[in-house]
Amino acid sequence: MSKSILQHRLVRFLPLLCSIILVVTLFITLITDSKSIPRSASATSIAPLTKGHHLRTSQKIASPSALNTISTTTSTTMQQSSGTARRFLPELIYGTAWKKERTQQLVELAVKTGFRAIDTACQPKHYNEKGVGDALAKLYSEKIVTREEIFLQTKFTSINGQDPNNIPYDRNAPLIEQVKQSFAKSQENLQTTYIDSLVMHSPMSTVQDTLMVWKQFEEFYQNGLVRYLGISNCYQLTLLKQLYDNAIIKPTFLQNRFYHETHYDREIREFCQQHDIHYQSFWTLTANPHILKRLVHCVSLLALSDFLSLSLSLLVQS
């Protein structure tokens, strides 16, 4: 058999061989992480986009410092207890924590890039809520978007999560009054009469206080000031069940850090699926560098396969 024929057959066989190696590598990766990677992990980051506004992936994505996203789950139009169909929920929410003085600039960039959902909090320690409001006001005035096109999510943060030197409400007021003052401050900062999603930044120190705050949230909802309610940083399934069982207006969202230390909230996410609660994951990428490293490795193998195939093809041609 001539040398040219051998080279030709090798060129035809090499891509298949490299593909087999890639598949085996991926399989080994999945087996290695079988105890840590959540079931249906892909479903944790996919959901319907905000109605009428698809994130245009062909566009230039915002700079890395601007990209801090929160992903949500499910695939249906949400309905609240009134039975009235509401808007579609967003697939990706632009997170604004730690943006500080760049918040306005980065929110404007995110919306111009294609984001139609923004997450913030009435917590000056980590969020510049007013910067979000200023950015949106400018975008509204420039006719880039309208308020109705933006899904706006903010949070009530208890005193324990606040900077003691910069609390956005009266620290000596009763708890319910603190919630009311925080909500009013959010309306002022965000320059809006209603909030799409109001989230309890974390459970309170007691179940009783958690339910008390939730009851005030329900009053906001019943008065038409809020469309959806949620809770964040809730990693105890028993507490989530207590909240759900006692709530008149059931939580629409649970927003948690998504990482292996909590076993990716597997039991909690199963409960959410069973009770129509949308699981929002944050730090989905930065909290899982071990998975990203393996992904990069697999992509590198694929690139190597293409390179070797091209090299041998040029060799045959020569």
DSSP, residue by residue, 42-106: GGGG--PPSTT----TTSPPPPTTT--EEE----S--B-TT--B-PPPPSEEEE-TT-GGGHHHH
Residue 80: band (very low, low, confident or very high) from pLDDT cuts 50, 70, 90:
very low
Closest CA to 97 of 181, 139, 155: 155
CATH 3.20.20.100 holds for 47-287: yes
R_g of the chain computed on alpha carbons: 24
How far from 227 is each of 77, 87, 253, CA to CA, in Å?
A: 13, 10, 12
Q: Per-residue pLDDT averaged across 263-290, rounded?
A: 92
User: Residue 226 carries which DSSP code?
Assistant: E
10 Å CB burial of residue 53 (0-12, 13-18, 19+) is middle
The 10s digit of each residue's pLDDT in 286-297 is 888 888 787 777
pTM score over 0.85: no
Q: What is the pLDDT of residue 288?
A: 84
Number of Cβ within 10 Å of residue 69's Cβ equals 22
- Residue ranges per domain, the chain? 47-287, 290-318
Arithmetic mean of pLDDT, 226-244 = 98
Question: From CA 226, how far away is CA 148, in angstroms rounded?
Answer: 13
The residues facing 228 across adjacent strands are 197
Please report which residue ranges of the chain form alpha helices under DSSP H.
3-32, 103-113, 129-141, 175-190, 207-222, 237-246, 266-274, 289-317
Average pLDDT (83-110) is 85
